[in-house]
Chains A and B, each alone.
Chain A
Amino acid sequence: MEELVKAEQTMPVSKPAATSKLSRNLTYIKKNYILYLLIAPAVILTIIFKYIPIYGATIAFKDFSPIRGITGSEWVGFKHFTSFLTSPNFIEILMNTIKLSSFELLIGFPIPIILALMLNQLRKSSVKKNVQLALYAPHFISVVVVSGMVFLFLSPVGPVNAILSTFLDKPISFMSDPDYFRSIYIWSGVWQGAGWASIVYVAALANVDPQLHEAATLDGASLLQRIWHIDLPTLKPVMAVLFILAAGGIMGIGFEKAYLLQTPMNSPSSEIIATYVYKRGLLAGDYSFATAVGLFNAVVNVILLGVVNQVVKKLNEGEGLV
């Protein structure tokens, strides 16, 4: 490093600005090395567990052999991608992924907003607080337990079928019918997460100047009009950011719950890319193929995020995420 600085200094002063900037930076780093020591653990861990795997993902373009390792395995180009894209279950898995997450977005995104607007009407703060306390509770339950509750409640001998038995002749096997999987997944998610997700909106609404509402009331605005013209515009920026993040995550839909709620019988609708990667890769040992599928997913995801960000930027007067 020192030599570099010297070399820079002895160079003809054709680029004085650049030279002095570099040496200024080096002195800064030397003087404030503590800051760089503080950030080092995070950087090292990120390199090991985030960037090295990105290098490792090159096995998607190779025929991975455990003996030859990642570097030694033979390049095969896009073989695994083509074999995934032309495989008979490609369309089904892709559509399952897209359907599950876009329906989740369509239902799961507006509900917390509506919930927040409703909570905002509660005038008594003690009531409001207790209602919120109840609504947040399911957020603190693990996804394993929520899925377990779903299995218990919806089993052929469970409480839901016991109630339905007054109308139906025989129990519905919810968990082994592909038709029910998405609804179960999405509504159990709403049950668990909508209350918690409303927090941000509730907080934004708390910042609305009460005088705005008073003035509007004096001018003869109804409650609905005030919600529409005062409350909703307040939420718009928060909505934009959260929508980009949610829509950008469409292909990244979580593995955890889908895998728990999956049964061999409902897999025609519950098999999504993430569960497929896990099964083909770690369970069946088809490493290169599964990595290719995962990589395909990640790339689509990044593209999607970029597109959504641009669209929202247009709609939201130039305010996007990045």
Chain B
Amino acid sequence: MNSQIKHAKGDRILLLTNNILLTIIVLVIVGPLLYVFLSSFLEPNAIIRKGLSLNSSDWSLEGYKRLFTDDTIVRGFFNSLLYSTGFTIVTVLVCLFAGYALSVDGLVGKKVFMIFFLFTMFFGGGLIPTYFVIRDLGMLNTIWAIILPGAVNVWFIILARTYFKAVPNELKEAARIDGASDLKIFFRIILPLSKPIIFVLALYAFIGQWNAYFDAMIYLDDRELHPLQLVLRSILIQNEVQPGMVADVEARNELMRISEMIRYSSIVIASLPLLIMYPFFQKYFEKGVMVGSLK
């Protein structure tokens, strides 16, 4: 009993420290995001120089206005939308199909298929041989270079298989006795029961593709085809403000000031949609992680 009371005090201090630390962590995480958001409406470094002033001369929508005088970012946005949607449809279908076949008890060759897929997770031919394949198939500068090479996601297949395995066998058996074919069972019984996993996979695929830039950088030379992330890369990393956005600006200082504002506003434009949406889908994201960890 004595030790319990003694500990109770120590525990309280520990819990208090814990709460304080977590508060600091949350501030460190959210702070930069908030800073970017506010800065996108302010003259460069206004927050650092003056704090959050309510002086209207510090506030400005110029970054956003300039961002949209040029159609690169809008085009990038729609390209990304197209690539992400196409990729999501293809990868989810391919992985669901494979996952279902692999979930069937007694499938002949199951082990071979699993090794065949798993092997690619740990070893591959590398960047250049893959590039050659895609070039030789004539897929450079086409949407297919973005959609197809990454469509088979072994992780997705495992997730889908795990989910399908949990569907009670009695359901399938009953349908089979009623004379339903495998295909019918899959489309009429399994798929309607699998909306959660389909949703999880689709979310992962869409967001992964939306935020990716590497494949597009390698396979798409044509600037007209560039997705949003590549446009952002040229604005944020390569410091190339699109000429159309600053056509009327000549003074160097002015150019720097404006490109700074464009950068902040482009981050907000690119990130805000997902940041606003994800809390609504959080449940599903977590579910995806769970199913995966059970394996």
A144-B233, A148-B232 as given contacts; A25 in contact with B108, CB under 8 Å: yes
CA distance A52 to B124 in the complex (A): 10
Contact pick for A143, options B4, B33, B123, B211, CB 8 Å: B211
Does A141 count as interface, using CB distance less than 8 angstroms? yes
Interface size, chain B (Cβ < 8 Å): 96
Does B282 count as interface, using CB distance less than 8 angstroms? yes
Secondary structure dominating the interface of B:
helix
Task: Tell me if B32 and A54 are in contact (CB < 8 A).
Answer: no
Which of chain A's residues 22-80 have a Cβ closer than 8 Å to chain B? 25, 28-29, 32, 34-36, 38-39, 41-43, 45-46, 48-57, 59, 70
Contact pick for B130, options A29, A49, A278, A305, CB 8 Å: A49
Closest CB in chain B relative to A283 CB, distance in Å: 10
Residues of B within 8 A of A260 (CB): 233, 237
Residues of A within 8 A of B3 (CB): 220
Which of chain A's residues 149-195 have a Cβ closer than 8 Å to chain B? 149, 151-153, 157-159, 162-163, 191, 195
A42-B157, A144-B233 as given contacts; A35 in contact with B101, CB under 8 Å: yes
Cβ contacts B33-50/A at 8 Å (1 or 0 each): 101100000001101110
Which of A2-10, A81-89, A118-126 contacts the other chain? A118-126
Contact pick for B126, options A25, A53, A158, A305, CB 8 Å: A53
Which of A92-100, A101-109, A127-135 contacts the other chain? A127-135
Residues of B within 8 A of A49 (CB): 130, 133-134, 148-150, 152
Band of interface residues on A? 35 or more
Cβ contacts B14-29/A at 8 Å (1 or 0 each): 1100110110011011
A38-B97, A134-B26, A159-B45 as given contacts; A145 in contact with B133, CB under 8 Å: no
Closest CB in chain B relative to A278 CB, distance in Å: 6
Does A142 count as interface, using CB distance less than 8 angstroms? yes
Does B78 count as interface, using CB distance less than 8 angstroms? no
CA distance A203 to B288 in the complex (A): 12
Residues of B within 8 A of A132 (CB): 282
Which of chain A's residues 264-322 have a Cβ closer than 8 Å to chain B? 277-278, 281-282, 287, 290-291, 294-295, 297-298, 301-302, 305
Task: Tell me if A56 and B125 are in contact (CB < 8 A).
Answer: yes
CA distance A301 to B237 in the complex (A): 30
Contact pick for A302, options B30, B123, B289, CB 8 Å: B123
Task: Tell me if A29 and B94 are in contact (CB < 8 A).
Answer: no
Does B181 count as interface, using CB distance less than 8 angstroms? yes
Residues of A within 8 A of B106 (CB): 28
A-B contact pairs, 21 of them (CB 8 A): A32-B104, A34-B183, A35-B182, A39-B98, A42-B152, A49-B133, A49-B150, A53-B132, A56-B128, A115-B25, A138-B33, A143-B211, A148-B267, A152-B260, A158-B45, A220-B1, A220-B7, A223-B7, A290-B128, A294-B127, A298-B123
Taking A54-B123, A291-B129 as given, write out 10 further A-B residue pairs in contact, using a Cβ cutoff of 8 Å, ordered by the A residue number: A25-B108, A45-B151, A45-B152, A49-B148, A133-B282, A141-B271, A142-B210, A147-B237, A149-B267, A290-B128
**Which 7 pairs show the lowest CB-CB distances between chains A and B?**
A148-B236, A56-B129, A53-B125, A294-B126, A142-B211, A42-B98, A53-B129
